[in-house]
Amino acid sequence: MDVLTPRSLTSTALGSQRDWGWRGWQVRYTFLRAVEPRVDAPPMLLLHGFGSSLSQWQANLQPLSQHHTVYALDLLGFGASEKASAAYDVAFWVEQVHDFWRSLIHTPIIIIGHSLGAAVALAAAAKYPDMAERLVLLTLPPARQELISGKMVELALGAERMFTSPLILGPVFALVRSPRLIRAVLRGLVYHNRDFVTDELVNTFLTPILDRDAARVFYRLAKSRTRTDYSPEIRVLLPQVQRPILLLWGECDRVVPLVQGASMPDLNPQLRLVVIPDGGHCLYDECADCVNQEILTWIGQTSLDADR
């Protein structure tokens, strides 16, 4: 049964953090009440990217909560949520998101997702259309099978499976827990602006993987990401969602390059693509003011269109 624990952590820029029980596992979430609530301002639910947590939204939560109640969730296996023995994939996290919405929110929401969180948001809106009023997707990664065609899919996945044995993943996980490596990856690949990679940022990525059961989750995630059903195909999901969609993409994203999203507006006439200048993969952080303003302006515009 889904339950709420009474514990509430210190209210900060990340809001009021609490724990929620889902299928017997502990899940971390946070919420901020709207400063100036409006009847026409639906709640927002923010979903983080792979390897991250709700803490990635520290520059977005308060600006977005001026008129909207805002929630952010740690997907199971990430952040301060339990490192559970589960079969992780996008469909699994969709059920977590839907049950969270059904238990705590109950009314149609704006789902905001980044990278993996964007894939989960899109899949959730396709499966549970009554849950999502609108979608904001910050970089939408194509499914693995959309990047590799024909017989190359099984060949590539077979090669990846060879590298997911415990004998290989053990040493790899030891490297992943290195602050020096995390800093190097963030500066060399994930962030366009290296000045954003501070000790505090490194610690937000490091702390969850120091948890007792983090190695077990790392192994399960590595295995699940080699399955062709790990994530549904974007070209299949996008046409199914009959809701306004804002797609934000960092101009300088090296993790999921802009070329991957350039044709996505062709798949759904309700999708608007906005390129964020000088934004890397973590555009929500590097270009926070621009991203926040784009989201709020678009919400205002789509609300006016709906009233006409």
DSSP 8-state class, residue 110: E
- The answer to whether residue 192 is domain-embedded is no
Which of 180, 186, 177 is closest to 282 using CA atoms? 186
16 within a domain of the structure (yes/no): yes
Would you say residue 115 lies in a domain? yes
The reply to whether 183 falls in a domain is no
Model confidence, pTM: 0.89
Structure-token pair, residue 249: 């993409």
Amino acid in position 248: L
Residue 116 lies in a domain: yes
Q: Distances from the Cα of 164 to the Cαs of 87, 151, 157, 231, 274, in angstroms?
A: 15, 21, 11, 18, 37
In angstroms, the CA 178 to CA 171 distance is: 11
Are 67 and 37 a contacting pair, CB within 8 Å?
Answer: yes
For strands 3-8 and 44-47, give the pairing: unpaired
* pLDDT score, position 164: 41
Enclosing domain of residue 49 = 3-153+230-307
In sequence order, the β-bridge partners of residue 110 are 44, 134
- Residue 244: C-alpha distances to residues 231, 255, 294 (Å): 22, 26, 14
Mean pLDDT (10-residue bins), the chain, 308 residues: 38 86 97 93 96 94 96 95 92 98 97 97 97 97 71 41 43 69 90 94 86 76 75 94 97 94 95 97 96 97 69
Cα angle 148, 155, 140 (rounded to 5 degrees) comes to: 30
- The domain total for the chain is 1
Token pair listed for 60: 């977005």
In a domain, 208, yes or no: no
Torsion angle of alpha carbons 97, 110, 81, 22, nearest 10°? -30
Look at residue 206 in the predicted model and tell me its pLDDT: 86
Q: What is the pLDDT of residue 305?
A: 66
User: CATH number, domain at 107?
Assistant: 3.40.50.1820
On whether the CB atoms of residues 173 and 150 are closer than 8 A, the answer is no
pLDDT of the residue at 222: 72
Q: Is residue 252 part of a domain?
A: yes
- What pLDDT score was predicted for residue 210? 79
Q: Residue 150: what pLDDT?
A: 45
Cβ within 8 Å of residue 91, ≥6 positions away: 123, 229, 232
Measured between alpha carbons, how far is 123 from 189 in angstroms, rounded to an integer? 27
Residue 209 domain flag = no
The contacts of residue 272 (CB under 8 Å, 6+ apart) are 244, 245, 246, 247, 265, 298
